Structure 1
Amino acid sequence: MACESNNGQSAHVTQEDPLVVVASYNKFDNLAHVPRGTTAGHTLSCFRLHRESATMTLLAVEDTLENPAFLRFHPEYNILYACTEDITKDNEVACFSVSATCGKLTHLRSQSAKGKSTCYLELDSSLEHMLFVNYWDSVVGTMPLTCSGLLEPVVKTLKPERPVVARDLKDHLANRQSEPHAHAIVLDPYFGKVAFIPDLGMDVIQQHHYDAKTGVLTPSTTLACGPDDLKPHGPRYIFVLVSNRGHNSIAVFAIKQTTRCGEAGYLRVVNYCHTKGKTPRHFQFDPSGEFLLSANQDTDSVTVFRFDNETGKLTFTGDVNDVPSPNFVCVFQPHRNGRMRHVAKL
């Protein structure tokens, strides 16, 4: 199969070649942090990842959203969800249809997130609600989904007990750890009834009960915190990968299943791999687990690496793609009937 790329060239495509959507910042002065790259002309870029050559080809671009900063795919439909980052006004969550063959993104609908600087999206297991988090004012909430995956208006939001009083970016950077700043929301993988919300301002992880029928979150307790989105990576779940934005590398750790004392869960360093760019804001595996893509925010690039599922070793393929201020990469295998066959986990 051939698909025309964005530069007019014909790119060889196989059904097993996944799509890659990259989100970019196009405005810096309304963010809760200070990127050092180039403002983007296009905020969403869709690529094809060619597994045979370990290279990416640009297929399409989309400019509907300002500062999209988190992406999520529906596990049954070719629908992309994105949220926006802005500390000056209420942000939005949007959904797009995605062409499985040529990567064209078509805006379908947007809904208000009822808060500022939206930074994380989570689909519940019933696929009936989208959970979201606003970083700046720490407002969390849910919005229903139609049976076809479209977004409906927010059901309910929860505001922090301690209000955020930062007036601007300078004030925020000086006092970030003195105010609540919810940074992610993750449902438990077994029952989908407990929502964990790391708060990197208050240094706690909030625990909420989640009612999948109504979409309502109810606070229950808080826990000692850790990194905001640390999960085992790779198809075998025996490795943990972490990006180091100062060191500009990805660290690979092997999970020790057992120790001499019979305990499990300890980590062993496998290797550190430079991302060939600065500030790896986000990275993600392709659905096969063979390739890893790194969004290097402050050097305007997305780089491609091979991942050895047996040893955990990362190897740079040599492929560097120019993308201004990339902050998120979402890799998925589209279903040719309009449904998704596989979505790579974050």
Structure 2
Amino acid sequence: MGADHAKRAFIGSFTSAGGRGITVAALDRYTGAPTVLGTSDAVADPSFLAVGRAPATGDTVLYAVSETSEGAAAAFAVGADGAPHLVGEVRPVNGSGPTHLALAGGHLLTANYGSGSVTALPVGADGAPGPVSGVLTHEGHGPDEGRQGSPHAHQVLPDPSGQWVLTVDLGTDSVRVCALDPATGTLRLHSEAALRPGTGPRHLAFHPSGGHAYVLNELEPTVTVCRWDAAAGLLEPLGETPVLPRDHDEGPAVRTYPSEVVVSHDGRFLWTANRGHDSISVLTLDETAEKPVLAAAVGCGGRWPRDLALDPSGQWLYAANEHSGNVSWFAVDAETGIPAHAGSIEVPAASCVVFA
């Protein structure tokens, strides 16, 4: 596990469900415990966050989506008092229901679930996003008429090489590989990896070696292992692994919707958050990185874990439990990867945790 320790955690939440918006917390490096410093409800439903730095000063900048039908993104500076303050304007993303965002090539990118699109906004010297520079709209659908009648972009992120941008689409059962033009802020489709129909891919995480990616499926509790070729910009699905025990209680009333996948810094473990089952699954990875094996599933410390995040030290795992309104943290066993519950704080409608 790594030695770096985060000083702060930033927690997103749904203001429409009673959340406080963005919560800033100081982290105790020895216990993992967060202490709330400040909050901001300057944007509605900041369900996902990302951390970057202002190009001009190097200061930490916190980015947030506004997961509303109109769709927007904003940047925040965090002062010594711990309160987040808006930097620049809240920018429309020309897409509905943005659920994820990331930084790449001098731009802020948002994945817009409602409109099935990805938006690029240039980042200014102060870190604030500018007006939209490009929108790439997905096409297609899946077999689940209730969830896959149209594209639903759920995640956007750069690959480890920095050459490509990947977008995970729940509605089309696919992952698209795109090229971002840093000069114009436009996105071009390069390739598309088709996953098994009806799986509903939600998020992916890369192995630290950069040669593999793990796509977590929301409509079936599985993870799809993929080989990643950065030189060619191609993602190749290799197979699926269940993220829940075979004897887990599955039915219409307790259907499981996995939400997030995390890989350990040393590449030995993979964790998933499982809504409905309300658990964190632990999968071990061998030297090939292609054969995850389910080792355990432990309680998430609440209900409906929407997000799962590993701190920079690799010692602490945090679950944002949306329906129970809390963030739980766990000590990670360095030998087994199994997390042990260490504590919890109240965060109504919690949806995301990131670190700086």
Q: Same fold (TM over 0.5)?
A: yes
The TM-score with structure 1 as length reference comes to: 0.77
Out of 147, 154, 168, which is 1:176 matched to?
Answer: 147
Greater shift in the superposed pair: 196-205 or 241-250: 196-205
Separation in 2, partners of 1:218, 1:23: 30
Separation in 1, partners of 2:140, 2:311: 40
Indicate whether 1:294 and 2:294 are aligned.
Answer: no
Residue 54 (structure 1) shift: 3.4
Deviations 1:296-315 (Å, cap 9, x if unpaired)? 10101111111123321211
Residue type matched to 2:354 in 1?
C
Question: Structure 2: any 5+ residue segments left out of the alignment?
Answer: 208-262
Deviations 1:96-150 (Å, cap 9, x if unpaired)? 0012x432211112211111101111111x4x11111111011212111123322
1:78 aligned partner: 60
2:221 aligned partner: none
Greater shift in the superposed pair: 212-221 or 181-190: 212-221
Query: Percent identity, aligned pairs only?
Result: 28
1:123 aligned partner: 103
2:123 aligned partner: 145
In structure 2, relative to structure 1, the CA distance for the partners of 1:221 and 1:54 (3 Å cut) is closer
1:302-313 to 2 correspondences below 5 Å: 302-313=327-338
2:291 aligned partner: 266
Residue 71 (structure 1) shift: 0.3
The 3-state SS of whatever aligns with 1:27 is: helix
1:113 aligned partner: 93
Contact 1:19 1:103 in 2 (8 A): no
Out of 7, 11, 24, which is 1:18 matched to?
Answer: 7
The 3-state SS of whatever aligns with 1:178 is: coil
Indicate whether 1:217 and 2:194 are aligned.
Answer: no
Residue 59 (structure 1) shift: 1.0
Indicate whether 1:320 and 2:348 are aligned.
Answer: no
Structure whose residues are more often strand by fraction: 2
Residue type matched to 1:144 in 2?
P
Out of 16, 30, 38, which is 1:60 matched to?
Answer: 38
1:150-299 to 2 correspondences below 5 Å: 150-161=128-139, 175-190=146-161, 192-225=162-195, 227-231=201-205, 232=207, 233-258=263-288, 264-299=289-324
Residue 162 (structure 1) shift: 5.7
1:97 aligned partner: 77
Separation in 1, partners of 2:22, 2:131: 23
Query: Where do 4+ consecutive residues of structure 1 move more than 4 Å?
Result: none
The TM-score with structure 2 as length reference comes to: 0.75
Residue 209 (structure 1) shift: 2.3
Residue 255 (structure 1) shift: 0.9
Contact 2:272 2:308 in 1 (8 A): no
Residue type matched to 2:318 in 1?
L
Residue 277 (structure 1) shift: 0.4
Residue 229 (structure 1) shift: 1.8
Contact 2:65 2:74 in 1 (8 A): yes
The 3-state SS of whatever aligns with 1:177 is: coil
Residue 20 (structure 1) shift: 1.1
Residue 17 (structure 1) shift: 5.8
Residue type matched to 1:177 in 2?
Q
Report which structure shows greater RCO (CA 8 Å, sep ≥6). 1
Separation in 2, partners of 1:239, 1:210: 31
1:343 aligned partner: none
Residue 58 (structure 1) shift: 1.2
Residue 212 (structure 1) shift: 2.6
Question: Structure 1: any 5+ residue segments left out of the alignment?
Answer: 1-14, 29-38, 164-172, 259-263, 333-346
In structure 2, relative to structure 1, the CA distance for the partners of 1:97 and 1:178 (3 Å cut) is same
Separation in 2, partners of 1:57, 1:161: 44
Deviations 1:157-208 (Å, cap 9, x if unpaired)? 1233469xxxxxxxxx963212111111122211x23222121112122222
Deviations 1:224-272 (Å, cap 9, x if unpaired)? 23743232422212211111111111111111114xxxxx511122322
